[in-house]
Amino acid sequence: MNIIVVDDEPIALKNMNEKLLYISEIEEITLFDEPQSALNYLKEHSVDIAFLDIEMYDMSGLEFALLAKNILPNINIIFVTGYSEYAVDAFSIHASGYLLKPVTVERIKKEIENLRIPITLKPKNRIFIHTFGNFEVFVDKKPLIFSRAKSKELLAYLVDRKGTSVTIAEIAAVLWEDREYNRSLQNQTQTVISNMMKTMKDANIEHIIVKKWNNIAVDITKFDCDYYNMLTWDMMAVNTYSGEYMTNYSWAELTTGMLYQKTFNQCYCEK
């Protein structure tokens, strides 16, 4: 998440910067005490949110917001001001938020959680695993193609287990449900594991799998995942969750229920 702050008062800029540094989702903060310099910056950089003072000498925050949206239509504007009388004008130009000084970290977080234009989750690693909705794996932003549906489902189940090791018998029970676990099914399961590993080796991402005798797991530190990010209340992940999780697989319903309860409890606690 990239952010700019525009305010012609150096002390106000410093105070805002100190508060924004407490928000882990923010990747870059750029400060401007002169509006035209900020507009020039927007012409060459992608910015998700602009925090603006309204009363500035060279250009009002309202004027800046209109010019900024002409440059970056999807930029979120949040006004930070000591004057309440501009609120109607601010929202008439589709501002995302309006904060009265002095602001707090909690109030800034609340505005970021409720942006008018949600910020797309950006993968931190070359491997991004998408679980909200259908399960998909992206390597360098390209979808990974599995030759067998069961191989893809196996990886999905390992991701769902969040790094906990599973046995071959457990995998067989998940992939084939009520079938009796015998030598034939054991061999089928081993074939699925081998096929999954070949697919991942061909994509040079086999390092995300940890294999031991009769056990297999994912190394959760080796990839980025919307589900894992949501568990840490990464707000970009929270904003992308719409109530669906690995809809391809019936066994994922338990986690879907957990996510629903987690989000419900969070919303209830905030009321």
* pLDDT digits 0-9 by tens, 26-44: 888 999 999 999 999 999 9
The vertex-17 CA angle with 60 and 125, nearest 5°, equals 115
Answer whether 0.75 is exceeded by the pTM: no
Quick one: 96 and 162 in the same domain?
no
Q: Report how many domains make up the chain.
A: 2
Quick one: 141 and 83 in the same domain?
no
Q: Which positions of the chain have pLDDT values less than 70?
A: 120-125, 263-271
The vertex-86 CA angle with 85 and 88, nearest 5°, equals 100
In Å, what is the CA distance from 101 to each residue of 69, 73, 83, 173? 24, 26, 8, 58
* Residue among 138, 135, 131 nearest 151 (CA): 135
Quick one: 185 and 266 in the same domain?
yes
Look up the CATH number of the domain holding residue 132: 1.10.10.10
Quick one: 80 and 135 in the same domain?
no
d(CA 227, CA 156): 11
Look up the CATH number of the domain holding residue 19: 3.40.50.2300
DSSP 8-state assignment for residue 208 = G
Quick one: 201 and 175 in the same domain?
yes
Domain of residue 78 covers 2-113
Q: Are 192 and 154 in contact (CB under 8 A)?
A: yes
Q: Is 121 part of a structural domain of the chain?
A: no
Q: Is 236 part of a structural domain of the chain?
A: yes
CA-based max dimension of the chain: 79
Quick one: 230 and 161 in the same domain?
yes
Quick one: 105 and 164 in the same domain?
no
Quick one: 147 and 210 in the same domain?
yes
**Last-in-domain residue among 85, 113, 141:** 113
Quick one: 105 and 134 in the same domain?
no
**Last-in-domain residue among 64, 87, 113:** 113
pLDDT at 240: 81
Quick one: 6 and 99 in the same domain?
yes
**Last-in-domain residue among 86, 113, 140:** 113
Q: Is 156 part of a structural domain of the chain?
A: yes
